Amino acid sequence: MTNQEENILLGHGNGGRLMQRLISGLFMAHFDNEILREQSDASILNICGEEIAFTTDSFVVDPLFFPGGNIGKLAVCGTVNDLSVSGAEPLYLSVSFIIEEGFPIATLEKIVVSMAEEARRAGVLIVTGDTKVVNRGKCDKLFINTSGIGKIRKDRNGVVRYNDIMPGDKIILNGPVGDHGMAVMSARESFSFRSGVESDCASLNGLISNVLDSHSPVKIMRDPTRGGLATALNELASRIPFGIRLEENAIPVCNGVRALCELLGFDPLYIANEGKVILVTGEEESRQITETMKQHEQGRQACVIGEIVNDHPGRVVLQTMTGSTRILETLTSDQLPRIC
């Protein structure tokens, strides 16, 4: 490792290249086992013949409340979605709080209420928990970890199948990108102007099970959270012998998000989402799946945004509106720390 990397940088937590290096150089190297090596959003465990999905996420978003949600809602949606995109039906969550001494109990209750509401909405039970309190100044208000257990569907539709991916397959997205990151950004004190942008924070298990129930085979799903759409697709591209071509024209971005991004110099393709899912399917099924998604509240703007191509294997290329092409690299430095 280089000198620069002797200490942990914010970039080590952004879902991009530094984090990948930390994961493979440190965590994978020491914890190594076959299940971990899959590096999916959730691990698939075989317990007495039953396939169980298992995942964990810590949430450190700042501020705790933002347009469209708060850290509690986010913590439930995030883990529900990690299970869902692994082809599992989310069932049970654990919740662990690290709270700064002096934190108002009334605020904690607001957050807990919204976790309970979101769990009900998603149809999951919060079954176990933990609470730690640290002295004033030793953490920033509140951090929440949720871990989750789900049951892999009997038909295994939606479980990651890298080997089945082939040129011509379509990339489907369920709606506009960048909303969550920009909503959190605009909620920070230094950007007190009202952008009207709301987080897309939502549990996607209903939408996803509608698609999987339709019997159209889905080869892989990903939720483009930290690092945004471009980073999630780069991670996917790095695991297949093909390239990914995106049509900039086809990728939905809300006006508010586009305006904020232009103002601040951000690229919406790298901004975190918390209610989005990418699906890879055969060309034939893609129309049917997009139609099914449009019937669901979380999929109204579902569309094909690109495809798997033979060219530039392992890379993601954007066909821009002006007709040129641009390689979308994996995120390196952090555009927006503490977004989830």
Question: What tokens does 169 get?
Answer: 């397959």
Shortest spacing between CB 119 and its own copies, in angstroms: 7
- Residue type at position 33: N
Position among 3, 77, 85, 129 found at the interface with its own copies (CB under 8 A) = 129
For residue 42, which of 57, 58, 29 has the smallest C-alpha distance? 57
DSSP conformation class of 10: G
Judged by CB under 8 A, the residue of 54, 66, 266, 270 near its own copies is: 54
Stretch of 138-146, 158-166, 270-278, 299-307 lying at the interface with its own copies (CB under 8 A): 138-146
Cβ distance to its own copies smaller for residue 128 or 332: 128
Among 63, 65, 112, 283, binds its own copies (CB under 8 A): 112
121 binds its own copies (CB under 8 A): no
Taking contact as CB under 8 A, which single stretch among the options 59-67, 189-197, 240-248, 271-279 is the one that binds its own copies?
Answer: 59-67
Inter-helix orientation angle 179-187/255-264, to 10°: 60
Please identify, among the stretches 14-22, 155-163, 180-188, 259-267, the one whose residues bind its own copies according to the rule CB under 8 A: 14-22
Stretch in the footprint of its own copies (CB under 8 A) among 94-102, 199-207, 279-287, 307-315: 94-102
Strands 43-47 and 278-281: unpaired
Which residues contact residue 149 at a Cβ distance below 8 angstroms, ignoring those fewer than 6 apart? 52, 53, 54, 83, 90, 91, 92, 93
Task: Find the binder of its own copies among 130, 155, 164, 262 (CB under 8 A).
Answer: 130
Query: Which value, in Å, is the radius of gyration of the alpha carbons in the chain?
Result: 19
**Six token digits for residue 296:** 């669901």
Name which of 62 and 283 has its Cβ closer to its own copies: 62
Spatial separation of the C-alpha atoms in residues 9 and 21, rounded to whole Å: 12
Are 51 and 171 within 8 A, CB to CB? no
DSSP assignment of 310-329 = SSSTT-EEEE-TTS-EEEEP
Residue from 24, 128, 295, 333 touching its own copies (CB under 8 A): that is: 128
Instruction: Indicate the residue among 52 and 302 with the shorter CB distance to its own copies.
Output: 52
- Does 23 bind its own copies (CB under 8 A)? Our answer is yes
Token couple for 90: 């989310």
Spatial neighbors of 270 by CB under 8 A, at least 6 apart, are 227, 228, 229, 230, 231, 331, 335
Footprint of its own copies on residues 252-291 (CB under 8 A)? none
Contact residue for its own copies among 71, 98, 257, 317 (CB under 8 A): 98
CB of 139 to its own copies, least distance (A): 5
Helix (H, G, I), strand (E, B) or coil at 98: strand
Stretch that binds its own copies, among 36-44, 175-183, 212-220, 253-261 (CB under 8 A): 36-44
- Closest approach, Cβ 213 to its own copies, in A, equals 19
- Interaction mask 299-338, its own copies, x per CB under 8 A: --------------------------------------xx
Residue-wise over 202-218: b if at least 16 C-beta within 10 A, else e?
bbbbbbbbbbbebebbb
8 Å CB contact between 235 and 316: no
CB of 334 to its own copies, least distance (A): 8
- Name the one range near its own copies by CB under 8 A: 119-127, 164-172, 285-293, 299-307: 119-127
* Residues of this chain, 139-168, that bind its own copies according to CB under 8 A: 139-140, 143, 145, 147, 149, 151
